[in-house]
Amino acid sequence: MGKIIFYEDRNFQGRHYECSSDCADLSPYFSRCNSMRVMSDWWVMYERPNYMGYQYVLSRGEYPDYQRWMGFNDNIRSCRSYPHLQDNQNDMKAKQEEPIAIYCSE
Protein backbone atom coordinates (compact mmCIF):
# COMPACT_ATOMS: atom_id res chain seq x y z
CA MET A 1 0.00 0.00 0.00
CA GLY A 2 1.33 3.44 -0.93
CA LYS A 3 1.80 6.37 1.38
CA ILE A 4 2.18 10.10 0.86
CA ILE A 5 2.39 12.99 3.33
CA PHE A 6 1.09 16.44 2.35
CA TYR A 7 2.34 19.57 4.15
CA GLU A 8 0.68 22.98 4.06
CA ASP A 9 3.99 24.86 4.14
CA ARG A 10 7.28 24.57 2.29
CA ASN A 11 10.10 22.38 3.58
CA PHE A 12 7.72 19.93 5.27
CA GLN A 13 6.40 22.46 7.78
CA GLY A 14 2.93 23.30 9.06
CA ARG A 15 -0.09 21.06 9.26
CA HIS A 16 0.25 17.74 7.50
CA TYR A 17 -1.96 14.91 6.31
CA GLU A 18 -0.92 11.30 5.70
CA CYS A 19 -2.71 9.48 2.90
CA SER A 20 -2.49 5.79 1.98
CA SER A 21 -5.28 5.43 -0.59
CA ASP A 22 -6.98 7.29 -3.41
CA CYS A 23 -8.81 10.42 -2.30
CA ALA A 24 -11.30 12.27 -4.50
CA ASP A 25 -11.37 15.37 -2.26
CA LEU A 26 -8.45 16.42 -0.07
CA SER A 27 -9.88 19.84 0.84
CA PRO A 28 -11.21 18.71 4.27
CA TYR A 29 -7.64 17.82 5.31
CA PHE A 30 -5.62 20.88 4.25
CA SER A 31 -6.17 24.24 2.54
CA ARG A 32 -2.95 24.31 0.51
CA CYS A 33 -0.06 21.99 -0.29
CA ASN A 34 3.44 23.42 -0.51
CA SER A 35 5.51 20.28 0.08
CA MET A 36 5.13 16.49 -0.03
CA ARG A 37 6.91 13.30 0.90
CA VAL A 38 6.06 10.33 -1.33
CA MET A 39 6.94 7.40 0.91
CA SER A 40 6.07 4.59 -1.51
CA ASP A 41 4.50 3.87 -4.89
CA TRP A 42 3.86 6.41 -7.63
CA TRP A 43 1.11 8.99 -7.15
CA VAL A 44 -0.89 11.25 -9.43
CA MET A 45 -1.89 14.59 -7.90
CA TYR A 46 -4.76 16.63 -9.32
CA GLU A 47 -5.35 20.37 -8.86
CA ARG A 48 -9.12 19.89 -8.56
CA PRO A 49 -11.39 17.45 -6.71
CA ASN A 50 -12.62 14.24 -8.35
CA TYR A 51 -9.37 13.67 -10.26
CA MET A 52 -9.79 16.72 -12.48
CA GLY A 53 -7.52 19.54 -13.59
CA TYR A 54 -3.78 19.60 -14.06
CA GLN A 55 -2.01 16.39 -13.06
CA TYR A 56 1.39 15.71 -11.55
CA VAL A 57 2.90 12.21 -11.54
CA LEU A 58 5.33 11.76 -8.66
CA SER A 59 7.76 8.99 -7.79
CA ARG A 60 9.00 8.15 -4.30
CA GLY A 61 10.98 11.05 -2.86
CA GLU A 62 10.84 14.44 -1.19
CA TYR A 63 9.38 17.59 -2.75
CA PRO A 64 10.16 20.57 -0.45
CA ASP A 65 8.09 23.05 -2.50
CA TYR A 66 5.49 22.85 -5.27
CA GLN A 67 7.96 23.97 -7.93
CA ARG A 68 9.86 20.69 -7.37
CA TRP A 69 6.89 18.79 -8.81
CA MET A 70 6.50 21.46 -11.52
CA GLY A 71 3.35 22.83 -9.90
CA PHE A 72 1.93 26.19 -10.90
CA ASN A 73 0.50 26.81 -7.42
CA ASP A 74 -0.19 25.13 -4.09
CA ASN A 75 -3.53 23.56 -5.10
CA ILE A 76 -3.70 19.79 -4.70
CA ARG A 77 -7.29 18.61 -4.28
CA SER A 78 -7.28 14.88 -5.15
CA CYS A 79 -4.79 12.04 -5.55
CA ARG A 80 -4.42 8.46 -6.78
CA SER A 81 -1.84 5.82 -5.97
CA TYR A 82 -0.37 3.59 -8.68
CA PRO A 83 1.32 0.66 -6.94
CA HIS A 84 1.74 -1.24 -10.23
CA LEU A 85 4.36 1.34 -11.23
CA GLN A 86 6.70 0.24 -8.44
CA ASP A 87 10.30 -0.26 -9.46
CA ASN A 88 11.21 -3.86 -10.17
CA GLN A 89 14.78 -4.33 -8.93
CA ASN A 90 15.38 -7.22 -11.36
CA ASP A 91 14.53 -5.06 -14.38
CA MET A 92 16.31 -1.88 -13.32
CA LYS A 93 19.86 -1.33 -14.54
CA ALA A 94 20.42 2.07 -12.90
CA LYS A 95 19.32 3.19 -9.48
CA GLN A 96 17.01 6.20 -9.42
CA GLU A 97 18.86 8.95 -7.54
CA GLU A 98 16.36 11.82 -7.74
CA PRO A 99 12.56 11.90 -7.43
CA ILE A 100 10.72 12.07 -10.73
CA ALA A 101 7.91 14.58 -11.34
CA ILE A 102 5.93 14.70 -14.57
CA TYR A 103 3.45 17.47 -15.41
CA CYS A 104 0.35 16.61 -17.48
CA SER A 105 -2.14 19.19 -18.74
CA GLU A 106 -5.91 18.84 -18.40
Please answer whether residues 84 and 43 qualify as being in contact, where contact means their C-beta atoms are separated by less than 8 angstroms: no
What's the angle, vertex CA 96, arms to CA 94 and CA 97, rounded to 5? 120
- Domain housing 100: 3-89+96-104
pLDDT digits (tens, 9 = 90+) for 9-27: 999 999 999 999 999 999 9
> What pLDDT score was predicted for residue 90?
45
Q: Give the number of domains in the chain.
A: 1
CATH no. for residue 13? 2.60.20.10
Tell me the pTM.
Answer: 0.82
